[in-house]
Amino acid sequence: MLVKVVSLLFCLVLLMACNQPTTVVSGEKSSLDALLKKNPADTAALYARAKYFVEKKVLDSALLDMQQLIKIDSSRAAYFVTLGDIYLFTNRTRYTRQAFEKAIKLNPDHEEAHMKLAELFLYVEMYKEALDQLNAVLKVNRRSPKAYYMKGMVYKEAGDTTLALSSFLTATEQDPEYALAFEQMGLIYAAKKDKRAPDFYQTALRLNPNSPTVLYNLGLYYQNNNQPEKAIEVFQDLLNKNPTYAYAAYNIGFIKSEIYKKPDQALEWFNKARSIQPEYAEAHYMAGYCQEALGKKQEAINAYRQTLNVNPAFAMARQALTRLGAEHDK
């Protein structure tokens, strides 16, 4: 049974436009509604209400306000960056690209527009185009740590870990507290089973002590490199800080089951993981696996059935039910 790994997937950074209009209206929706009732062409109020809707995830309303705003004034790059954000939230990547490109056309030095277009290109695996946008950022601001970090992500996703490491290192040279870059270097070294990986994770934790992903990946490094006691210590620390982090409970169970061969102790942790996350098929399966090892046949059958309720394609659970003379649909 393979260890459940939580991959550190690249997530798009959806920041709202920082290049604000000259006049910024703030306040609750009711006050913005009142302003717009008096003057439907109040661009500052429209922009503020659109961003309010984005914050509240009322995206259809945000889009309507932005479309109305751009009909009134289509000269501001920031408006198109915000519009691109909305399109990205709603998974309309073609329109997202058009909006960011319009922002760049209006302001060729708009760092945020270039950065977000680079993020979009990375998301759709257009790596050369992403690098072009990041290089455009660096022409405007050669010390941008985020641009170097993003270049590292592009190189990493493209499979060039040497250039990725170089870019992440440059990001930390520009900003010694850029925790994400240290985390990514830790991930790359961990994949190589390099003993330097924990040092990068520890630096990331010093900068961001409660990061669940860094703690999890540090524990995973120890687990995969024959240091189970250290792994358990890290996973327990993670659970103390994040009691609902089911993967940490699962991995403690896995160590207890597969390394220490103590199914009774492991079962407690698998049950904890499945109670935290009822859709966690692997946790249900491993609970059944431990119950079967302990001679608790019916409990094992129930756990295997629950595994298949969550994931009908889980072949090992189906095989286990056959082995125990049980059927899934009972």
As a whole number, mean pLDDT of residues 77-96 equals: 95
d(CA 97, CA 321): 50
Work out the pLDDT band at 28, boundaries 50, 70, 90: confident
Tokens of 148: 């170097």
What pLDDT, in 10s, does the model give residues 280-316?
A: 999 999 999 999 999 999 999 999 999 999 999 999 9
What pLDDT, in 10s, does the model give residues 236-276?
A: 999 999 999 999 999 999 999 999 999 999 999 999 999 99
Q: Which of 5-9, 11-15, 38-42 has the highest average model confidence (pLDDT)? A: 38-42
Work out the pLDDT band at 19, boundaries 50, 70, 90: very low
As a whole number, mean pLDDT of residues 83-93 equals: 94
d(CA 17, CA 1): 46
d(CA 41, CA 74): 13
DSSP letter for 255, please: I
Extents of the domains making up the chain:
244-330
Check residue 106 and give its pLDDT. 98
d(CA 222, CA 24): 50
What pLDDT, in 10s, does the model give residues 187-232?
A: 999 999 999 999 999 999 999 998 999 999 999 999 999 999 999 9
Tell me the whole-structure pTM to 2 decimals: 0.84
Closest-CA residue to 328 (of 299, 308, 303, 298)? 308
What are residue 158's phi and psi, to 5 degrees?
Answer: -80, -5
- Asked whether the predicted pLDDT for residue 20 surpasses 50, the reply is no
Which CATH architecture describes the domain 244-330?
A: Alpha Horseshoe (1.25)
- Average of per-residue pLDDT values in the chain: 92
Work out the pLDDT band at 27, boundaries 50, 70, 90: low
Q: Token match 């708009």: residue?
A: 110
